[in-house]
Amino acid sequence: MLIRKATEKDFESIWAIFHAVVAKGDTYVFSPQATRDDAHDYWFGPGVRAYVADADGAILGMYKLIPNQRDLGAHVANASFMVSPAAHGRGIGEALGRHCIDEARKAGFDAMQFNFVVSTNTGAVALWKKLGFKIVGTLPKVFRHQTLGLVDAYVMHRFLNDSCGC
C-alpha cells in the first residue's frame, strides 16, 4: 500500500469513502446528507494537503493536513482521517496516522491537535493514544451521535519534536 498525495482523479473514491463514513453519523460532524461539494471543499479546499492510501489503484482511506489556526497559531497542525468501512481492521488508519505525523514534522509544524474526536469512537481514541496523543480537553455533549444522542468529544494533542521535553 502506497500513501501518496491525493489528486483530483482520486475524488470519486474519496467521495465514496466520505459518504460511507458520514452516513453513519457516529464520528464526524458532517450531516449524513453532506454533499459531493461538501466533500470536495473538505478534501481539496484552499491550503488543504490531502493524501490517500492507494492499494494497487484502490483507494482505501485518506487524510488531510492543515494548520489548526492561522498566523499566531499556525505552528500547530490539524488532521482528519477517513478509512473505507470495507477496509477496517487492516491497519490503514494507523499507517495514515504515522505518515501524517511524519509529513507534519517535515512541514515544520511543532505539534498536532485534533479538535473533535468523538468519545464513543473508541478505536480512534485508542489509536491516537498509541501514536502519542494525549487528551487535553473533554467537550461535554458537543456531538449529536445518530444512535447514542449527545456525547462528549475530546481534544487530543501531541508535540512533534520528541526532543522538546514537553
Euclidean distance between CA atoms 39 and 30, whole angstroms: 9
Applying CB under 8 A, the residues found at the interface with a second copy are 25, 28-31, 34, 68-76, 110-111, 113, 115-116, 136-146, 150, 153, 155, 157, 159, 166
The minimum distance between CB 57 and a second copy, in angstroms, equals 32
- Judged by DSSP in three states, 85 sits in helix
The minimum distance between CB 65 and a second copy, in angstroms, equals 17
Which residues neighbour 93 within 8 Å (Cβ) at sequence distance 6 or greater?
61, 81, 83, 123, 124, 127
Residue with cell 505539534: 111
List, in sequence order, every beta strand (DSSP E) within 84-122: 111-118
Nearer to a second copy, 12 or 41 (CB): 41
Nearer to a second copy, 49 or 115 (CB): 115
Nearer to a second copy, 45 or 73 (CB): 73
Nearer to a second copy, 15 or 30 (CB): 30
